[in-house]
Amino acid sequence: MVNNKKVLITGGAGFIGSHIAEYFAANRYKVIVVDNLSSVNSQKFNNNLNIIFYKRDITNDSLDDIFENEKPDIIIHLAAQVSVTKSTKEPIFDAMQNIIGTLKILKYCRKYGVKKIVAASTAAVYGDIKPPVSEDSAPKPLSHYGLSKLTMEEYVKLSGVNYIIIRFSNVYGSRQNVYSEAGVITLFKNAMLKNQEITIFGDGEQVRDFIYVKDIAKIVFELCETDVVNEIVNISTGQGISINNLFKLMAKKYNYSLEPKYKPKRENDIVVSILSNDKLLKILPCHFVDVLKNKEVLHLDDI
C-alpha cells in the first residue's frame, strides 16, 4: 500500500538517487523521479509501480507540469555536476548545473507549496580542514565544484523554503560509475578482479570517510520523516581510511598481487576528509546509531 506522501527526486536515476528512490518506494511513498539520464549507470525503474519517471533536464526543461500534476510534498535535490576536475575545466557548466539548476528547483518549490527540500551538498565545501569536520566549521572550498555547492547552499537558505542541506562524505556502493573521481572502491574492485594495474594519484596517504550508498538511502528517508528543518547535516561514518590502506585491504580480499602505480596528485585533491556525524546521530532514531558507528568492514560484495 502506498501512503499519501509524495517525494520528487531530481537526479533520481543516478547512483545515489536510484537507491534513495527505491528505498522510499519500498517504504510506501509515491516517488517521482526527474533525471536527464546523463549518468552512465542510470536506472529506469521499469518494474516499480511506486516510481514515476520523467526524463527531463532541470536546467533546460520546464517542470511545471510535473509539479502541478504530481504535487510533491518533499523534494530531494540530487541532480548536479559532481566532478571536481570537470568543474575546473568547465566552471560555467558546473555553475549552470549546481547553482542555476538549484535556483529553478527552488522556484518550483515556492510556486507549488513544497513542504521541504532536502538538498545534497558535499564534503568538498569544507576544503582541507583538520578533521573531524563539523557543520560549524568555516567552509573553505578548494575547487570550483566545492564553491558551486557552497553557493547552492546559500541560495537554499535564502529561499524561504524549509530545507535540510546534507553534506555527503565519500559515497560508495553498487551502480557507482567506475570512472568517477569518487569511485575509487569500485575502480579498485573491478581492476583487482581482472588483475589489471591500478593507479593511485599522489602518495596514497589521502584519507577518506567512505559511507555505503544504501545507508545513505536509509538516512535520507529518516531525515525526511523527522520534523527537522533549516539545518545543515553531515552524512558520514566519522571514520577515515587512507587510499593506501584501502588498497591493501582490498588486495587481501581479492588475492591481488600487483603493486599500485603512483602518479602525481590531482589538482585540488583534499589530503584528509573526515566528517563528524555527531549532529546526525542526535537527530536520527536510536536504531540508526549502529549503522553509522559499526563500519569496520566495507560492503565490498555489493558494488
pLDDT at 40: 66
Cα 213 to Cα 78: distance, rounded to the nearest angstrom = 13
Chain mean pLDDT for the chain: 91
**Active site members:** 145
Burial degree of 62 (CB within 10 A; 0-12, 13-18, 19+):
exposed
Which amino acid belongs to residue 215?
D
CA nearest to 156, candidates 230, 210, 216, 213: 230
pLDDT-wise least confident of 35-49, 118-132, 219-233:
35-49
pLDDT confidence bin for 292, thresholds 50/70/90? low
Structural domains counted in the chain: 1
Mean pLDDT, range 81-87, rounded to an integer = 89
> Has this prediction a pTM greater than 0.85?
yes
Domain membership of residue 89 (yes or no) is: yes
> How would you class 114 by CB atoms within 10 Å of its CB: exposed for 0-12, middle for 13-18, buried for 19 or more?
buried
CATH of the domain at 52: 3.40.50.720
- Of all residues in the chain, the percent with pLDDT exceeding 90 is 76
Mean pLDDT of 85-95: 93
Determine the Cα–Cα distance for residues 102 and 260; give it in Å rounded to an integer. 39
Answer yes or no: is 270 within a domain: no
The residue with cell 593511485 is 200
50-64, 161-175, 286-300, range with the lowest pLDDT: 286-300
Mean pLDDT computed over 119-143: 93
- The C-alpha angle 231, 237, 241, rounded to 5 degrees, equals 135
Tell whether 154 is covered by a domain.
Answer: yes
DSSP-assigned beta bridge partners for residue 273: 208
pLDDT at 1 over 60: no
Angle (CA) 109-115-120 rounded to 5° is 70
With 0-12 / 13-18 / 19 or more C-beta atoms within 10 angstroms meaning exposed / middle / buried, residue 274 is buried
Beta bridge partners of 244: none
- In this model, does residue 297 exceed pLDDT 80? no
Q: Report the candidate in 135, 145, 161 with the shortest Cα–Cα distance to residue 75.
A: 161
Q: What is the pLDDT of residues 23-53, one digit of tens each?
A: 999 999 999 999 999 876 777 776 777 899 9
Q: Residue 300 has which C-alpha cell?
A: 565490498
Domain that holds residue 78: 6-173+213-236+275-293
Q: Are 182 and 171 contacting, i.e. CB atoms less than 8 angstroms apart?
A: yes
Q: At what angle do helices 15-26 and 213-225 cross, to 10 degrees?
A: 50
- Note whether residue 135 is domain-resident: yes
Of 279, 25, 40, nearest to 137 (Cα)? 279
Strands (E), 65-181: 74-77, 116-122, 163-168, 170-172
pLDDT at 300: 76
Q: 137 lies in a domain?
A: yes
Q: Is residue 241 part of a domain?
A: no
Decide: helix, strand or coil at residue 244. Answer: helix
For residue 295, pLDDT beyond 80: no
**pLDDT confidence bin for 3, thresholds 50/70/90:** low
Q: Is the pLDDT of residue 154 over 70?
A: yes
For residue 192, is it within any domain?
no
Q: Is residue 300 in a domain?
A: no
Beta strands in the chain (DSSP E): 6-10, 30-35, 51-55, 74-77, 116-122, 163-168, 170-172, 199-201, 207-208, 210-212, 231-235, 241-242, 261-263, 272-273
- Compute the half-sphere exposure of residue 291: CA atoms within 13 Å on the CB side of its CA: 20
